[in-house]
């Protein structure tokens, strides 16, 4: 049996134990159908916050159909309460084609991932940069449009705004790493240095994004009156960012 006695810098020992138990569960469930288990996201970048951050995983399978996917039902029931979100299910062939179709997402995983078990499909994988600019622009503009829509759906309550700010900034950060690649800046893994770098390079005020990141991490706790003002700052910053990136990339 393959050893799973690895250590990931920055993760608490409780989280290591949880991941090792998860790997044992998944390998037992899938047997020879499983080729690899990949951890990515904040847990690998050193930004994992116990009680706040999810554990993002990718399962590499030899093939899949409905019966194979349904095998995960029991795993999800056991692990969903432990911040383990439903993983991505891919074959090696899927990953090769997805790296062309979704270069932003898969380049981000390529750069910050950890093999927990099996074979690493990212070794030797070449990312196609031709469509990166289009996906970055779509991700940023789409984020802004969806945020406005969901604010209305959530009736702009304090609870809705708090949730939406965290969701939006989480989705923005990978797109900003894509911007760094496009403008040939060093790609920064951590959120705060990433925002500061692009704020300086693009000459745009991103105060609202800084605030949203602090809120997501639990480092600030705005009251009922301050949350709407924070949301206003965030919307203004995000709109300025989208315009600045569109101008820089498409000129």
pLDDT recorded at residue 126: 84
Percentages helix, strand, coil for the chain (3-state, rounded to 5) are: 65, 10, 30
42 compared with 99, residue with greater pLDDT: 42
Q: Are residues 37 and 135 in the same domain?
A: no
Domain closes at, from 88, 118, 148: 118
Residues in the chain: 251
Q: Are residues 97 and 179 in the same domain?
A: no
pLDDT recorded at residue 4: 73
Q: How confident is the model at residue 3 (pLDDT cuts 50, 70, 90)?
A: low
pTM as predicted: 0.90
pLDDT recorded at residue 224: 86
Q: How confident is the model at residue 5 (pLDDT cuts 50, 70, 90)?
A: confident
**Residue among 88, 99, 89 nearest 63 (CA):** 89
Q: For 35-44, what is the mean pLDDT?
A: 96
Q: Are residues 30 and 92 in the same domain?
A: yes
In a domain, 8, yes or no: no
In a domain, 123, yes or no: no
Domain closes at, from 99, 118, 137: 118
| Residue span of the structural domain in which 61 resides | 13-118
- Per-residue pLDDT tens digits for 180-236: 999 999 999 999 999 999 999 999 999 999 999 999 999 999 988 999 999 999 999
In a domain, 87, yes or no: yes
- The residue behind tokens 């074979």 is 119
- Per-residue pLDDT tens digits for 124-143: 888 888 899 999 999 999 99
Per-residue buried b or exposed e for 66-88, using 16+ beta carbons within 10 Å of the residue's own CB: eeeeeebeebeeebeeebbeebb
Q: Are residues 57 and 107 in the same domain?
A: yes
Domain closes at, from 96, 118, 140: 118
In a domain, 59, yes or no: yes
In a domain, 196, yes or no: yes
CATH number of the domain residue 147 falls in: 1.20.120
Q: Check whether 45 has a pLDDT greater than 90.
A: yes
* Number of structural domains found in the chain: 2
In a domain, 101, yes or no: yes
Q: Tell me if residue 38 falls in helix, strand or coil.
A: strand
Q: Are residues 97 and 190 in the same domain?
A: no
In a domain, 7, yes or no: no
Q: For 144-172, what is the mean pLDDT?
A: 96
Q: Are residues 111 and 170 in the same domain?
A: no
CATH number of the domain residue 104 falls in: 3.30.460.10
Residues pairing with 84 in the sheet: 55
In a domain, 1, yes or no: no
pLDDT recorded at residue 2: 64
In angstroms, the CA 204 to CA 217 distance is 23
> What whole-number percentage of the chain has pLDDT above 90?
86
């Amino acid at each position: 049996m393959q050893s799973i006695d690895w250590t990931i810098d920055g993760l608490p020992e409780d989280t290591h134990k949880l991941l090792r138990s998860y790997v044992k569960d998944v390998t037992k469930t899938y047997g020879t159908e499983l080729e690899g288990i990949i951890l990515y996201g904040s847990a690998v970048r050193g930004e994992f916050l116990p009680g706040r951050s999810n554990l993002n995983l990718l399962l590499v399978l030899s093939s899949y159909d409905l019966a194979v996917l349904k095998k995960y039902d029991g795993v999800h029931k056991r692990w969903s309460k432990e911040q383990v979100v439903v993983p991505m299910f891919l074959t090696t062939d899927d990953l090769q084609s997805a790296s062309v179709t979704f270069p932003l997402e898969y380049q981000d995983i390529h750069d910050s991932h950890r093999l927990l078990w099996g074979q690493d499909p990212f070794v030797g994988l070449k990312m196609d940069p031709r469509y990166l600019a289009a996906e970055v622009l779509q991700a940023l503009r789409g984020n802004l449009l969806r945020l406005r829509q969901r604010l209305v759906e959530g009736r702009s309550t304090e609870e809705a705004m708090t949730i939406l700010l965290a969701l939006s900034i989480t989705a923005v950060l990978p797109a900003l790493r894509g911007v760094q690649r496009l403008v040939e800046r060093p790609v920064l893994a951590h959120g705060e240095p990433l925002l500061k770098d692009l704020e300086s390079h693009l000459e745009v005020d991103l105060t609202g994004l800084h605030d949203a990141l602090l809120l997501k991490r639990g480092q600030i706790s705005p009251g009922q009156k301050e949350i709407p003002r924070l949301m206003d700052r965030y919307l203004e910053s995000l709109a300025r960012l989208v315009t600045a990136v569109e101008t820089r990339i498409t000129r």
